[in-house]
Structure 1
Amino acid sequence: MRRAVYLLLGLAVLAACWRAGGGDKPESSVRVIDGDTVVWQGRTADLYGIDAPELGQRCLSGTHLYPCGLDAAHALEKRTLLDELSCEPAPARADELVCGSADQSLGDLQLADGYAYAVDGAPAAQRALADEARTARLGVWRGEHVQPAAWRAGERLAAEEREPQACPIIGTVRNGRRIYLVPSDRDYDDVRVLAGTRRFCSDEAARESGAVHVEAR
């Protein structure tokens, strides 16, 4: 139990550092939900061709559990602050977005650094990036982990089962509207201490509950 408490405190500190670290940087037109989900022009959508660890997911590096879902989201957040970005509907997948700069898409960058899987049907170039990251043991590939789709379905590492922690996404009701917040939202800590909140391990689960993400910035 003590280890679980320490892990939860560490998660809160990491989230706080994440929010504080970008305070003096220009805001991007692309808002990050997690390692493969963004908000652009008021629309929440997945990035084309990739699947990243969920915000509540942890992976192993050696024998050490670390918050790989938060790491993937943090990496994507930093990418949105480096260049002028634009988004457009993905080819033949209007429910997904291709976002990035003139040089490379955000999805490709996440794959290249090992923060995401290439999904079934992803272009050959994206699958090649994922294979290269896996060979180089970058990101999640440096240790044992559960594939994100399997994790959403309930599969967990044995180490995760032994050291449970609270899921990081917060659901609540604001002005009669069901909403959810993620650790990068500025009012996340204020909502976290309110009674009657609900926890979600993934943004998909939050949206399936009928909640919508709020623009906190």
Structure 2
Amino acid sequence: MTRSGRLFRDGVTTFALLAVLGLLALKMNNRPELIQTGSFYVVDGDTLSRDGSRLRLLGIDAPEYRQQCRRADVNWSCGEEARKALDKFMETGAAECRGREHDRYGRLLVTCKVGGVDINGAMVRSGMAVSYGGYAAEEAEARQAKAGLWAGDFERPRDYRREEMMARDGDPLAGLGDFLRQFIGWDR
């Protein structure tokens, strides 16, 4: 085979390989968007439930339900307050939650809107959640205004979860409690 023949063959092979890779990428990126509308049960500051399935608000991280924060040298139940704040936002009208991806726990990652208001962003802007891969501008607004969590001292929710998990590792009954909460649907 001549040199020009080999170059042509290699070019065609490369083009075919790139075309196949492009089609695979297109297929993987073409997941249908799942849309849920109506009312939802608020589990905590960044998790919703409906018809037995869990939805996790995309791009934010709210304090865990039992998490405590400090403001003016006094502890306050920031986790409970985050849940109440999300519940209040969700009650302002019919919600529409959209998402394509699932997290490692099988929860659909969603962005929710009520009356055109992005609930995920509203939670961060109110200081009841921190930005987690999105909503950096809203977090900067909340910090500047010293809103919610930013009015005092708090542990980032991911750090709180990590410490809770480390503390439970030494307690054999803590794992049973976690299993029971997950079994009856009270898990995160």
Superposition TM-score tier, normalisation by shorter sequence: 0.5 to 0.7
Q: How does 1:41-56 map to 2 (within 5 A)?
A: 41-56=51-66
Deviation, 1:91, is 6.5
Does the Cα contact within 8 Å between 1:35 and 1:74 map onto a contact in 2? yes
3-state SS in 2 of match to 1:57: coil
Which stretches in structure 2 are left out of the alignment for 5+ residues? 1-37, 165-172
1:154 to 147, 163, 169: 163
Residue 59 (str. 1) matches residue 69 (str. 2): yes
**C-alpha separation in 1, matches of 2:60 and 2:46:** 7
Query: Percent identity between the aligned chains?
Result: 28
Look up the match of 2:82: 72
Amino acid at match of 1:79: F
**C-alpha separation in 1, matches of 2:59 and 2:66:** 21
What is the RMSD of the two structures over their aligned residues, measured on CA atoms?
Answer: 2.7
Give the TM-score, by structure 2 length.
0.64
Deviation, 1:144, is 0.6
Does the Cα contact within 8 Å between 1:206 and 1:212 map onto a contact in 2? no
Which stretches in structure 1 are left out of the alignment for 5+ residues? 1-27, 156-197
Residue 30 (str. 1) matches residue 52 (str. 2): no
**C-alpha separation in 1, matches of 2:181 and 2:40:** 24
**C-alpha separation in 2, matches of 1:76 and 1:150:** 21
Amino acid at match of 1:72: A
Does the Cα contact within 8 Å between 2:54 and 2:108 map onto a contact in 1? no
Higher helix fraction (1 or 2): 2
Deviation, 1:42, is 3.0
Amino acid at match of 1:29: S
Does the Cα contact within 8 Å between 2:92 and 2:114 map onto a contact in 1? no
Deviation, 1:147, is 0.4
After superposition, give the CA deviation of every residue in 1:138-183 in whole Å (9 maximum; x if it has no partner): 000000110000000117xxxxxxxxxxxxxxxxxxxxxxxxxxxx
3-state SS in 1 of match to 2:64: coil
Deviation, 1:29, is 1.4
- Shift in alpha-carbon separation, 1:212–1:129, aligned structure 2, 3 A: same
Does the Cα contact within 8 Å between 1:29 and 1:41 map onto a contact in 2? no
Residue 213 (str. 1) matches residue 182 (str. 2): no
Amino acid at match of 1:97: V
Look up the match of 1:172: none
3-state SS in 1 of match to 2:117: coil
Does the Cα contact within 8 Å between 1:90 and 1:98 map onto a contact in 2? no
**C-alpha separation in 2, matches of 1:98 and 1:146:** 24
Look up the match of 1:138: 147
**C-alpha separation in 2, matches of 1:105 and 1:208:** 33
After superposition, give the CA deviation of every residue in 1:92-119 in whole Å (9 maximum; x if it has no partner): 8783111122422211110110000111
Q: How does 1:79-94 map to 2 (within 5 A)?
A: 79-90=89-100
Report how many residues are paired. Answer: 137
Look up the match of 1:176: none
Amino acid at match of 2:151: R
Residue 101 (str. 1) matches residue 110 (str. 2): no
Give the TM-score, by structure 1 length.
0.56
Q: Which protein is bigger by CA-based radius of gyration?
A: 2
